[in-house]
Amino acid sequence: MKELVILIPVFNDWESVGLLLPRIEAAVAAISWRVRVLLVDDGSTAAAPETVESRLPVEILHLRRNLGHQRAIAIGLYEVAEHTVADAVVIMDGDGEDRAEDVPRLVAEFERAGEREIVFAARTRRHESLVFQVSYHSYRALHWLLTGKTVRVGNFSVVPREALRRLMVVSDLWNHYAAAVFRARLEYRTLPLERGVRLSGNPQMNYASLLVHGLSAISVFSDTVGARLLLVSGALAGVVAVLLAAFPWTPLGTALLVMAALQAVTFATLFAFTIISGRSQMSFLPLRDAAYFIMGRRACGGTRDSLRSLGEAVDEGSRAAIRERV
């Protein structure tokens, strides 16, 4: 039987996760996969539960410090890729907004695609506040202007092992999972799904955190952003030159226009060359660096046949078996 790992990053939101796990258990009963759950504890200040109510094998992967939502996903993907023989992994949030009942739908679409493409949930309806939705659509517009790409998906997805193997050498995974998939040009498709509502408590991400999250996605395409800013600043300088030639200006007006154009061109040029030089620097690689951030792992639910027993090292025979699968 094929094996599916459900990866859930968690920061303090253990109550929501406790409500979500029984829903996942009920939902995945409809699919013909052996399912395990990996909770990535992103340096929570609230103590993780010793046990959870689930007949599914559940394990908690504890990180050494809080790294942020996207980096917790990156390290969780490394754990699945290197320390399990899973055929696929589902990435979902633990607050209930990624609905448990949609996991079988994602898996069914994944199977229809021949289990070769990543399948993302494309949101058809959201339930957040008006302020959040205005902010979100403003971010989408800014993302499109700077990168030329439309934001349509989040983290909720199913990833085949082959794509997971490729992601292990994609540095951009450290900043933003979905953007890393697009930047690496991995094959994917989308499935329209409605976004759920939070099961318990308040969001762990405030507006500042959401801003950082959005900028992280844009940063994956920083070379494109730099090129676009350079083109726009060049066009602005051209417009200034035309205005100076076509109309009479006071010395102060002329100075202000020239300074604005020079500042725009200088900023865009410096930004573009900073990005170009940075492309030759050593970056985070999940395959090489993720293990440094893992403090430990332990089983906390289901059978004793967990992803890895607490404290158990992967021996050479296991590693060979894993690499045969990839």
Of 11 and 146, the one with more pLDDT = 11
Contacts of residue 322, defined as CB under 8 A and 6 or more positions apart, other chains included, come to 82, 83, 84, 85, 314
State the pLDDT at residue 102: 97
Q: Which residue's entry shows tokens 């078996």?
A: 321
What tokens appear for 127 in the block?
A: 């339930």
| Tokens linked to 28 | 């995945």
To the nearest 5 percent, what fractions of the chain are helix, strand and coil? 50, 15, 35
55 secondary structure, DSSP code: S
Q: Which residues contact 85 (CB under 8 A, 6 or more apart)?
A: 3, 321, 322, 325
What mean pLDDT do residues 228-237 have? Answer: 76
Residue type for position 93? D
Cα 109 to Cα 190: distance, rounded to the nearest angstrom: 9
Give the Cβ contact number of residue 274 at 10 Å.
11
Show me where the domains of the chain are located.
Answer: 3-134+150-207+283-325, 222-278
Which pLDDT tens digit goes with each residue over 179-195? 999 989 999 999 999 98
CA–CA gap between residue 313 and residue 109 (Å, rounded): 35
Decide which of 53 and 86 is more confident.
Answer: 86
5: tokens are 């790992």
- Give the number of other CB atoms < 10 A from CB of residue 235: 11
Pairwise CA distance, residues 90 & 87, whole Å: 10
For residue 272, name the pLDDT band (cuts at 50, 70, 90): low
User: Comparing 126 with 224, which gets the higher pLDDT?
Assistant: 224
pTM listed for this prediction = 0.79
pLDDT of 156 reads 97
Which residue in 88, 104, 69, 89 sits closest to 6, CA to CA?
89
First CA to last CA across the chain, in angstroms? 17
Cα 9 from Cα 16, distance rounded (Å): 12
Cβ-based neighbours of 13, under 8 Å, separated by 6 or more: 94, 95, 200, 201, 204
Torsions phi, psi for 299 (to 5 deg): -80, 140
Model pLDDT for residues 69-122, shown as the tens digit of each residue? 999 999 999 999 999 999 999 999 999 999 999 999 999 999 999 999 999 999
pLDDT value at residue 270: 67
CA 36 – CA 241 distance, rounded (Å) = 64
The topology under which CATH files domain 3-134+150-207+283-325 is Spore Coat Polysaccharide Biosynthesis Protein SpsA; Chain A (3.90.550)
Tell me: pLDDT of 206 over 70. Answer: no
pLDDT, residue 87, reads 98
pLDDT attached to residue 231 = 76
**DSSP assigned state of 61:** E
Give the pLDDT band (50/70/90) at residue 204.
Answer: low
What pLDDT shows up at residue 41?
A: 97
Question: What is the predicted pLDDT for the residue at 103?
Answer: 98
- What is the share, in percent, of the chain residues with pLDDT greater than 70? 83
Give the separation between CA 160 and CA 103, rounded to whole angstroms.
Answer: 14
Which range among 44-58, 69-83, 295-309 has the greatest average pLDDT?
69-83
* Exposure on the CB side of residue 306, measured as CA atoms within 13 A: 20
If you average pLDDT over residues 239-268, what whole number do you get? 78
pLDDT confidence of residue 318: 40
pLDDT tens digits, one per residue of 131-185: 767 776 777 787 777 777 777 788 999 999 999 999 999 998 998 999 999 989 9
- The mean pLDDT value of the chain amounts to 83
